Structure 1
Amino acid sequence: MNAFRPMSAWAAAAWLAALPMLASPAIAADLRIGLSAPVTSIDPHFANAAPNSSFARHVFDTLVMRGPDGRPTPHLALSWTPVEENLWEFKLRPGVTWHDGKPFTADDVIFTFGRAPSVPNSPASFGGSLRTVTKVEAVDPLTLRITTSAPTPNLPIDLAAIAIISRHVGESATTADYNSGKAAIGTGPYRFSSYSSGSSIAVERNAAWWGPKQEWDRVDFRIIPSPAARTAALLSGDVDLIANPSASDLPRLRGEANLRIFERPSARSLFLSLDMERTGATPFITDNDGKPLPKNPLLDLRVRQALSLAIARQGLAERVMQGMAEPTGQWMPPGAFGYNANVAVPTQDLARARALLAEAGYPQGFKVTIHASNDRYPNDAQTAQAVAQMWTRIGVATTVEAMPFSTYLTRLSRQEFSVVQNSWGSTTAEAGSVLLNIIHSFDAPRRLGASNDTRYHNPALDTQIEEALSTMDAGQREQRLAAAVAVSMQDVAFIPMIMYKNAWAVRRPLTYEPRMDEATLAMGVGRSE
């Protein structure tokens, strides 16, 4: 029931982009990439975080690949067909081998689907992508049948998040074995070479890859959290490409004759998540004398509305992000599947915010700490500081504690915070990703709300979300998603602030195919005079 060609659009584009490099032996065989955020593990199932998943695509393949526009294209799966409402059949690519030479089969997919949602100590599970999968059967070595507990129209694009690992390696492997390289054996275009946590990663070309030949013999990824240091590394020639150049550096970079800038609107939103789990005191909120409040004020809708109204989103986009973001009142860009045009960007209204706090019983406000990362998202710490100043103006005296992303993610997964600045990239290119993973109540057995770390809970909305995501008719599903978006924003399930714009800067004659999902891939680097 789909007409995809055996070679994906992405693969064909990469193959065509590689042709000029074949004819030019003067082009360096090594590629050096400066990343803005750390890869916290080589284990592709350890953390559902964009930097980890982006790197994993070099070593591990997926059944379905997301194209630069977020649309699904064939990869290890050549085709997929809904046989019945709750039954899909996937035809797998023949002739694929693991880096150790053993053949890839349907049994490896079955093993992967069992492991991905349940990696020990995972701070962010992939369970949401497999939430409805109840049975996976191998009809033959290259044919899978997947049974779901409910109609799941998004199953192919959901599976694009799951890196496929081998049973013969993974069955006895730990996350530490992947980080050491012992278990980092995939079917991808590159082979693992080395990993230094928080510093660097290296891969080497997999000459036996089933896809188009990769012309980079070696790719070195350097973790450079500081935007100024990334720019300096690019200008000096220490790296060939950088992700997320600083907005303040872009005018200078655009003026450099030997550099190119590639941009694309992102499906990543930056928002504030509020502790909705504790009914009594919450750890980082006190009265103005520093004493814990007996009741969590964030449970009061009026308080959540006040905090949202205090934020000048246009100011964040224009001044803090210097034009590399757009203000938003939801979490998808206009035109995206499930975007609700009736959900407006809230206008800052300090007087109304103060009145709402008073109505809720906090006329003098209170004290709060915002926790944020300082090395993960563009200007993440600076954005949190700007919000703190805005909240202080309505009587909510706010401080910021910013920390490295690896520390932040671990503490977030333990529900340690009262208010956290968070982000989610909806790489499925539709509103359901956030509804499923962030807004739906946390339900580990059903793999729902996998990243709902502040435990927002709305049973009626949960039902609405599940109905929307199981609606096979695309038009009805989009209407139901948009309706769920409206309800979640009326209840201030979290506080959306901005949508990012993605950018990469490269040294000529290199080019980069910009991606909605912000992934920085060696496979997307080409050459053009």
Structure 2
Amino acid sequence: MKKKVGITACSALLVLAAALGGCSSKPADTSTQPNPQSKTEAQAPAKNELTLGVNGDPHSWDPIDTFLLDWSTVATSVFEGLVERTTDLKIQPGLAESWEFKDDKTLQFKLRQGVTFHNGEPFNAEAVKFTFDRLLGEEGKKGPQQANYASIDRVEVVNEFTVNMILKEKDPVLLTKLAGYGGVIVPPKYYKEKGDEYFNTHPVGTGPFKMDSYEKDNKVVLVKNENYWKQGQPKLEKV
């Protein structure tokens, strides 16, 4: 198994902002006259958006196609998993409100209700099953993520908001892996209607930001998900 590094776009931005703030130095003031233009600019309200640079383009935003950090920096604000990491890397509930091992090989998740994908499609047990059927099936074989979830035999729907993950064997780091990358949940109807090639460049998830536009090897624009299930988030309008 390859070691994965997950980092949310918002966390990356905070780190970048802190680094820039720490490295900046105040230039010497050699002017004896006030600068009215500078004063006006300083008083102008800042836009509620941030711009940052990333090292490269993953060339596919499909979560089962890559393990690159450049994907994670952006796409972990578009997609979400059943569980997620806090800023100190502890596992906490995500799209699943709770989970428990019913026995050594049955991991049951109680899913969060009232969550929708960016296209308005409902998040439910069928979406979870579709995600893992795809990841563990023929489509998943084309990417690097399937091997990380080899301990999962299948996902069974118990009811609309409960799923059982049936394991082939014990996996002590399974919950950690489910917090990102290949384990994030995708919308079944949208994927089936649009197809794989379209999904690679027009991803849809449940995360705090929606992908508004994408220009390969140039830029990607994320905008606030107004219907995000975490009340009061995100704070930014655009990244």
TM-score of the two chains, using structure 1 as the length reference:
0.35
Name which of 127, 148, 167 aligns with 2:167. Answer: 148
Give the match's secondary structure for 2:227: coil
Q: 1:94 is aligned with what amino acid?
A: Q
Q: Which amino acid aligns with 1:215?
A: K
What residue in structure 2 maps to residue 29 of structure 1?
48
Cα deviation per residue 1:494-521 (whole Å; 9 max; x = unaligned)? xxxxxxxxxxxxxxxxxxxxxxxxxxxx
Q: Deviations over 1:227-264 (max 9, x none)?
A: xxxxxxxxxxxxxxxxxxxxxxxxxxxxxxxxxxxxxx
* Percentage of pairs with the same residue: 28
Corresponding residue for residue 200 of structure 1? 219
Equivalent positions of 1:64-143 (< 5 A) are 64-117=83-136, 118-119=138-139, 122=142, 124-143=143-162
1:203 Cα deviation after fit: 1.1
Deviation at 1:109, TM superposition (A): 0.7
Counterpart residue type for residue 42 of structure 1: W
Q: Quick one: distance in 1 between partners of 2:119 and 2:214?
A: 19
Query: Structure 1 CA distance, aligned partners of 2:134 and 2:226?
Result: 28
SS of equivalent to 1:78: strand
- Residue 142 of structure 1 aligns with an amino acid whose one-letter code is F
Partner of 2:190: 169
Name the CA distance, whole Å, in 1 between partners of 2:192 and 2:214: 22
The one-letter code matched in structure 2 to 1:176 is E
Distance 1:92 1:120 in 2: 23
Letter in 2 for 1:214: P
User: 1:43: Cα distance to partner?
Assistant: 1.6
Q: Distance in 1 between matches of 2:56 and 2:81?
A: 22
Query: May I ask how many residue pairs the two structures share in their alignment?
Result: 194
Alpha-carbon separation, structure 2, partners of 1:64 and 1:192: 22
Tell me, yes or no, if the aligned pair for 2:58 and 2:66 is still in contact at 8 Å. Answer: no
**Are positions 1:216 and 2:236 aligned together?**
yes
Amino acid aligned to 1:160: A
Deviation at 1:172?
A: 4.3
Q: Which residue of 2 aligns with 1:19?
A: none
Contact 1:60 1:164 in 2 (8 A): yes
1:113-155 CA distance string (max 9 Å, x none): 1112443784x42113321111211111111111101122222
- What secondary structure, in the 3-state scheme, does the structure 1 residue paired with 2:63 have? coil
**Partner letter of residue 217 of structure 1?**
E
Change (3 A) 1:51 1:180: closer
Separation in 2, partners of 1:112, 1:65: 17
* 1: CA distance, partners of 2:218 / 2:186: 25
Residue 66 of structure 2 corresponds to residue 52 of structure 1: no
Residues 133 and 154 of structure 2 are in contact (CA less than 8 Å); yes or no, is this contact kept in structure 1?
Answer: no
Deviation at 1:195, TM superposition (A): 1.0
Instruction: Give per-residue Cα distances to partners, 1:148-192, cap 9 Å, x unaligned.
Output: 0112222211211312101111234444202442xx221111111
Runs of 4+ in 1 over 4 A off after TM superposition: none
CA positional deviation for 1:215? 2.1
Could you tell me how far apart the structure 1 residues matched to 2:196 and 2:169 are? Answer: 32
1:302-344 deviations in Å (ceiling 9; x for gaps): xxxxxxxxxxxxxxxxxxxxxxxxxxxxxxxxxxxxxxxxxxx
Structure 1: runs of 5+ lacking an equivalent: 1-9, 14-24, 220-529
The one-letter code sitting in structure 2 at the alignment partner of 1:29 is N
Structure number with greater Rg is 1
Partner in structure 1 of residue 32 of structure 2? none
CA contact 1:165–1:186 (8 Å) conserved in 2: yes
Q: Does the CA-based 8 Å contact 2:121-2:187 persist in structure 1?
A: no
- In terms of mean alpha carbon deviation, does 107-116 or 28-37 score higher? 28-37
Structure 2 vs 1, CA of residues 131 and 141 (structure 1 numbering), >3 Å: closer, same or farther?
A: same
Residue 96 of structure 1 aligns to which amino acid in structure 2?
V
CA displacement, residues 435-493 of structure 1 (integer Å, 9 cap, x when unaligned):
xxxxxxxxxxxxxxxxxxxxxxxxxxxxxxxxxxxxxxxxxxxxxxxxxxxxxxxxxxx
Q: In 1, are the aligned partners of 2:109 and 2:162 still within 8 Å (CA)?
A: yes
Amino acid paired to 1:63? L
Structure with more relative contact order (C-alpha pairs < 8 Å, separation 6 or more): 2
CA deviation map 1:384-403 (0-9, x unaligned):
xxxxxxxxxxxxxxxxxxxx
Question: Structure 2: how far apart are the matches of 1:179 and 1:154?
Answer: 28
CA contact (8 A) 2:60 2:201 kept: no
Superposed CA deviations along residues 67-91 of structure 1, whole A, max 9, x for unmatched, are: 2333211110111111101111111
Q: Residues 181-238 of structure 1: CA distance to partner in whole angstroms, max 9, x if unpaired?
A: 2xx221111111111112110111001000132121111xxxxxxxxxxxxxxxxxxx
Contact 2:134-2:140 within 8 A present in 1 as well: no
Secondary structure of the corresponding residue to residue 68 of structure 1: coil
Counterpart Cα distance in 2 of 1:40 and 1:155 = 27
The unaligned stretches of length 5 or more in structure 2 are 1-7, 12-43
- The one-letter code of the counterpart of 1:147 is I
Alpha carbons of structure 1 residues 26 and 209: separation in structure 2 relative to 1, 3 Å: same
| TM-score, normalised with respect to structure 2 | 0.74
Q: 1:243 maps to what in 2?
A: none
Name the amino acid aligned to 1:74: P
Distance change (3 Å), C-alpha of 1:203 and 1:158: same
